[in-house]
Structure 1
Amino acid sequence: MTTGPSQQATFAGMPTPLYSGSPSRLLAWLDCPRRYRMQYLDRPRPAARAQRAHTSVGIATHNALRDFWDLPLAQRTPAGVAELVRSSWIDVGFRDPEQSAAWRLRVRDAVTDYLRRSDRERQPVGVERSVSLKTEQIAITGRVDRLDDRDGELVVVDYKTGRQVPTDDDARTSLPLALYAVASARMFRRACHRVELHHVPSGTVAVHEHTDDSLSRKVAEAESIAADLRRADAEFAQVGVESPRFEPRPSAICGWCDFRAHCPEGQRMGPEKSDWAGLEPAGYESAAAGTALP
């Protein structure tokens, strides 16, 4: 019998178990094998750094956009949004209370402005909906920010809150979005080819229309990554941190890594980013704050 992380026990003659994971797990391996090991395999897991302010902003924004659709129609107003942002706010990672308060107002205005462009009477098919996808090799589970019904077909919507405005090419190449589209189509038995990245601060929507062939290629990509992870996880189970498969991949993202304190190679890539370095520069504020939702 053999066992390993993310694998079931196997006996002689049994088929190989599916590799279970999430899109985030697959992408963590591509970013840096050492970070992947520390995040998913090491036990006890090395201590991660404290949460940064831009993560607090992202979580609060996502929570407000999630809870908006639970409000009665009469409460889907700027005042209702302001209360959702206030109750969702996470005061962690900011330089000082003044910066946190200023950002809470910016997020309130950005979320209000974003929802003003939405049809508040059209309830999404799913909000933060868990979806799963199984093939002959993998079992992938993830969570879709929003799943819309557009003329009888499903559309995967993913919210973005960072400094970089996503492009249509980002939507086209996104592995998680493609896997969510395939999973949603199978679970709901409805076509799902369109994926969108909604950048809440700017109101930009990046779009890609997949074909069956392009989605199949994305599933094959996920299976290829999972095959590498299956081998890496099994080797870790045998030799632990001595495995050469988990060498670091130093890059510009080392300054942001939650496990930087445990990685000398990452520390040599330059100074660590401050807790609030990921915040959007001035100009995030909505110019239309305070007006009514359509």
Structure 2
Amino acid sequence: METSTEDVAEDTGGPARPAAAVAHATEAAVEPAAPASETAAAAAAPAPAPVATAPASLSPSRAGDFMQCPLLYRFRVIDRLPEKPSEAATRGTLVHAVLERLFDAPAAERTAPTARALVPGQWDRLRESRPEVGELFADDPEGERLAQWLAEAERLVERWFSLEDPSRLEPAERELFVEAELDSGLRLRGIIDRVDVAPTGEVRIVDYKTGKAPRPQYAEGALFQMKFYALVVWRLKKVVPRRLQLVYLGSGDVLTYDPVLADLERVERKLLALWEAIRLATETGDWRPRPTKLCGWCDHQAHCPEFGGTPPPYPLPVRAADSGAVAQGRMGPD
């Protein structure tokens, strides 16, 4: 699954909500500004190291991580190991930002040239908010590779116009943060790219993908994220979305699925079983690697036993799986 704003919403803490989602949150009280001396001292102080906490909620990205490889889930959620940005994922983030911003313009101005013109400015904004992405082109002093990368982002944006007509769309929500708590206490959260609501009330959930559409035999895996969102919407609004739509800009395909309540109930059962497995692994510290072809793209091979690495010391208290006794500082999987 592509990196998106959802990945900023940590499963163990509060979400980093985009502007569209914040508009629907409860207004927060404005605190008085700190004195200048305190502000300067805070700026000079080193950033605190991430504090390990047990997982408290589940997003589609993190659910996908655990299903792909439990140890990857641990590295990202428990240990919070840093990962280098990739050109593909960063381009996806950039394209998502452009498609969101385009709807700020009047319908008649939502054209392909207008969208392409947004790319440079959104790239500048992305570098300001996430300075680490600038490292992607640190070895490109002439800017040739960056220019090609931006041109590809523009091509992806332009392809969208052959799949949808934004001049005829008025999204009810864009980059919408959603969160719902199941009867079991499990909290589900995520960020939906776009929500369309028909005049008759039917809801369509739309997600943009900058990669290519999967083969038909893998379509169910691709729809898992969308059914996750549909479950959250159903839990929040008691409405089953009429349509789930994946827009693949890399290949120019649109994958749609019309869910029924039984679909969402099956997804909920699957998530509850998944969460139980995550809870057990958290308590015992037993996070097993699951080698696949995707390992070649993993940033954590140096810590993975499958590649001769050693996981960092497990930062949470654990109990023995057989006795239930709790031990402090136990290491991760051997």
TM-score band (shorter)?
Answer: 0.7 to 0.9
Q: Which has the higher contact order (CA 8 A, sep 6+)?
A: 1
Aligned to 2:57: 20
Write out aligned runs for 1:103-114 (5 A).
Answer: 103-114=149-160
Aligned to 2:179: 132
Aligned to 1:40: 77
Aligned residue pairs: how many? 242
Q: In 1, distance between residues paired with 2:302 and 2:145?
A: 26
Q: In 2, distance between residues paired with 1:191 and 1:21?
A: 20
Cα RMSD over matched residues? 2.6
The answer to whether the 8 Å contact 1:64/1:84 transfers is yes
Query: Aligned partner of 1:265: which letter?
Result: E
User: 1:118: how far off?
Assistant: 1.6
Aligned to 2:268: 219
Alignment equivalent of 2:299, drawn from 245, 258, 263: 258
Q: In 2, distance between residues paired with 1:175 and 1:113?
A: 25
TM-score normalised to structure 2 length: 0.65
The C-alpha deviation readout for 1:71-123, integer Å capped at 9, x for no partner, is 23343223321222111226553574322212312221331231353242421
**Alpha-carbon distance change, 19 to 168 in structure 1, aligned in 2, over 3 angstroms:** farther
Aligned to 2:113: 79
The answer to whether the 8 Å contact 1:168/1:207 transfers is no
User: 1:221: how far off?
Assistant: 0.5
Aligned to 2:191: 143
User: 1:169: how far off?
Assistant: 5.7
**SS state at 1:141 partner:** strand
- Listed as ranges, the gaps of 5+ residues in structure 1 are 8-17, 236-242, 269-294
**Alpha-carbon distance change, 34 to 186 in structure 1, aligned in 2, over 3 angstroms:** closer
Query: Aligned partner of 1:93: which letter?
Result: L
Alignment equivalent of 2:201, drawn from 152, 159, 175: 152
Identity %: 29
**Alpha-carbon distance change, 82 to 267 in structure 1, aligned in 2, over 3 angstroms:** farther
Q: In 1, distance between residues paired with 2:270 and 2:219?
A: 16
Q: In 2, distance between residues paired with 1:166 and 1:146?
A: 21
Write out aligned runs for 1:1-294 (5 A).
Answer: 20-42=57-79, 45-48=80-83, 50-89=84-123, 93=136, 96=140, 97-116=143-162, 117-137=164-184, 138-150=186-198, 152-162=201-211, 164-166=212-214, 170-173=218-221, 174-235=223-284, 243=285, 245-266=286-307
**Alpha-carbon distance change, 184 to 63 in structure 1, aligned in 2, over 3 angstroms:** same
Query: Aligned partner of 1:22: which letter?
Result: S
**SS state at 2:243 partner:** strand
Q: In 1, distance between residues paired with 2:230 and 2:256?
A: 13
Q: In 1, distance between residues paired with 2:231 and 2:151?
A: 37
- Listed as ranges, the gaps of 5+ residues in structure 2 are 1-10, 14-54, 124-132, 310-334
Aligned to 1:273: none
Aligned to 2:128: none
Q: In 1, distance between residues paired with 2:177 and 2:118?
A: 22
The answer to whether the 8 Å contact 1:171/1:196 transfers is no
The answer to whether the 8 Å contact 1:171/1:207 transfers is no
**Alpha-carbon distance change, 218 to 120 in structure 1, aligned in 2, over 3 angstroms:** same
The answer to whether the 8 Å contact 2:86/2:136 transfers is yes
User: 1:69: how far off?
Assistant: 1.1
Query: Aligned partner of 1:110: which letter?
Result: L
Query: Aligned partner of 2:61: which letter?
Result: S
